[in-house]
Structure 1
Amino acid sequence: MRNIFFAFSLLIAFGLNAQNKTQFMEIDYRMEMKLDAEEVLKNVPAAWRSQVEEPLRQEIKNGIFMDYKLKTNGSESEYKLQEKINNDQSPAGLILAQMTAMDKEALYKNIAEKYYLKPMNAGKSYLIKEELRDYKWKISKESAEIAGFPTYKATGELNDSTSIVAWYTPKLTIKDGPDRVWGLPGLVLKAEFNMAGTDIIIDAVKVAVKEEEIKITKPTKGEVVTEEKFMADMKELQEKYKEMYGGGVDTE
Structure 2
Amino acid sequence: MKKPFQSLSLIFLLCISTISFAQQNFQGKAYYMSKTTMDLDQWGGREMSPEQKKRIQERMKSFLEKEYILTFNKEESIYKEDEKLETPGSGRSWGGFASSFTGGPKYKNVKTKELLQDQEFFGKQFLIKDELQGLEWKMGTETKQIGQYTCFKATATKTVDEFDWRSMRRRNDSDKTENEKKNDSIKKDDDPMNEIEVPKTIEVVAWYTPQVPINQGPDDYWGLPGLILEVNADRTTILCTKIVMNPEEKEEIVKPKKGDEVTKAEYNDIITKKMQEMRDMYGGRRGGRSRRN
TM-score, scaled relative to structure 1: 0.75
The equivalent residue for 2:256 is: 219
* 1:58 Cα deviation after fit: 5.0
User: Secondary structure, in 3 states, of the residue corresponding to 2:275?
Assistant: helix
Cα separation, partners in 2 of 1:209 and 1:40, compared to 1, 3 Å: farther
Task: Give the aligned partner of residue 110 of structure 2.
Answer: 111
* Partner Cα distance (2:35, 2:17) in 1: 40
Match status 1:65 vs 2:65: yes
Q: 2:215 aligns with which of 161, 175, 182?
A: 175
Aligned length: 224
Letter in 1 for 2:221: V
Q: CA distance change for structure 1 residues 41 and 232 in 2, over 3 Å: closer, same or farther?
A: farther
How many Å separate the matches in 2 of 1:27 and 1:183? 16
The reply to whether residue 228 of structure 1 matches residue 231 of structure 2 is: no
Counterparts in 2 of 1:217 and 1:61: CA distance versus 1, 3 Å: closer
Quick check: 1:87 aligned with 2:90?
Answer: no
Contact 1:35 1:60 in 2 (8 A): no
Could you say which residue in structure 1 is the equivalent of 2:40? 37
d(CA) in 2 for partners of 1:41 and 1:65?
22
Unaligned runs of 5+ in 1: 1-13, 43-48
C-alpha distance 232-57 of structure 1, shift in aligned 2 (>3 A): same
Choose which of 27, 31, 48 in structure 2 pairs with 1:24.
27
Contact 2:207 2:230 in 1 (8 A): yes
Show structure 2 runs of 5+ residues with no match.
1-15, 160-199, 287-293
TM-score, structure 2 as length reference: 0.66
- On the 8 A contact 1:31/1:68 being kept in 2, the answer is yes
CA distance in 1, matches of 2:208, 2:103: 27
Contact 1:120 1:127 in 2 (8 A): yes
Q: How does 1:77-226 map to 2 (within 5 A)?
A: 77-89=77-89, 94-100=93-99, 103=102, 105-122=104-121, 123-159=123-159, 161-194=201-234, 199-212=235-248, 213-226=250-263
Q: Deviations over 1:160-202 (max 9, x none)?
A: 73221110000001110100100100000001113xxxx1100
* Structure 1 residues 15 and 174, CA gap change in structure 2 (3 angstroms): closer
More strand, by proportion: 1
The one-character-per-residue Cα deviations of 1:76-95 (angstroms, maximum 9, x if unpaired) are 111001112223436x6642
What's the Cα RMSD here?
3.3
| Aligned 8 A contact 1:105 1:119 in 2 | yes
Taking only the aligned residue pairs, the percentage that are identical comes to 29
